[in-house]
Amino acid sequence: MDFELRTLVIFRIMPQIIPTLLCSTFEEFSTQVKQVEPLFSYAQIDVMDGKFVPSVSFSDVNQIAALSTSLKYELHLMVADPIAEIQKWKSIPNIFRAIFHMESSCDPTSAITAICELGWEVGIALNPDTPLTLAGAFYDLVDVVLFMTVNPGKQGQKFIPEVGEKIAQFTGLTSRPKCAVDGGINKYNIAQVTNYGAELLYVGSALMKSGGTMEEAYRELQEKMTKAALRIS
Give tens-digit pLDDT for 25-47: 999 999 999 999 999 999 999 99
pLDDT for res 232: 55
Quick one: what percent of the chain has pLDDT higher than 90?
A: 81
Mean pLDDT of the chain: 91
Q: Rounded to whole angstroms, how far apart are CA atoms 156 and 55?
A: 14
Q: Which residues of 75-89 are buried (b: 16+ CB within 10 A; e: fewer)?
A: bbbbbbbbbebbeeb
Per-residue pLDDT tens over the stretch 110-129: 999 999 999 999 999 999 99
Predicted structure pTM score = 0.91
pLDDT of 142 strictly over 70: yes
Q: Which residues of 132-165 are buried (b: 16+ CB within 10 A; e: fewer)?
A: eeebeebeeebebbbbbbbebbbbebebbeebbe
* Architecture label for domain 3-231: Alpha-Beta Barrel (3.20)
Quick one: what percent of the chain has pLDDT higher than 70?
A: 91
Q: Rounded to whole angstroms, how far apart are CA atoms 102 and 111?
A: 10
Per-residue pLDDT tens over the stretch 179-192: 999 999 999 999 99
Annotated active-site positions, please?
46, 182
pLDDT for res 233: 47
pLDDT for res 113: 98
